[in-house]
Amino acid sequence: MTCELRPLTPNDLDLICRQRNDMFRSMDMSEDLIVRMDPAFRTWLQNRLSDATYFGFVADQDGRPVGGIGLMEIEFPPHPAHPETTRRGRILNLYVEPTARGQGIARHLVKASEAEFTKRGLTYAVLHATDMSRPLYEKDGWRGTAEMEKVLTPD
C-alpha cells in the first residue's frame, strides 16, 4: 500500500493529540500522566497550529490517517555543529499506527521533514529517539548526542 503525505492544518488538532497520546502509550508512559498532559498540550498546539510555528505532515493511506510528524523551527545559540546559524529544525511526535508499521511510512515522514527543513533554510535538525525508533534514524544518518534530562521540582 502507498501512503500520501499532506501538510498539517489547524483542523488536525484532534488527530495530532490522539497520535501523540498513542505515541506515549506505546512508550509505556503512565496513562495518568498522559491524561494530565493532554489539555495543556492541546492548548499549546492549537496556538502553534494557528500561527504555523508547529507544522509537519499527516500520512494518509486509503483516505485514512495512519501516521504523522510534527516539526518546529527553534532558536539555539551558534554551536560547533552549526556555527553560523541560530536556527535548528526540531522533529517531534512521529507516530505510525501499529497496523501500518513496517511499510516505510515513518521513513517517508522523516525524509519529507528533512526536505521541509532544507526548503526553510535549516541546515541542522534534532529529535529525541526511543530505543524502538533509533535504528530508523541511524539508517538515514542521524546520530546520538550527549543530551540528558532532569525533572526539576521546587524545594
Domain residue ranges of the chain, discontinuous segments joined by +? 4-139
Alpha carbon distance 140, 39 (integer Å) = 34
Q: Which residue has the cell 532532569?
A: 150
C-alpha–C-alpha distance, residues 24 and 41, integer Å:
13
The pLDDT, as a whole number, for residue 144 is 87
Going by C-alpha positions, the residue among 131, 51, 122 that lies closest to residue 91 is 122
Residue with the bigger pLDDT between 144 and 114: it is 114
**pLDDT of 1 over the 80 cut:** no
pLDDT digits (tens, 9 = 90+) for 46-103: 999 999 999 999 999 999 999 999 999 999 999 898 898 899 999 999 999 999 999 9
What fold, for 4-139?
Answer: Aminopeptidase (3.40.630)
Percent of the chain with pLDDT over 70: 99
* Structure confidence at residue 104 as a pLDDT band (50, 70, 90): very high
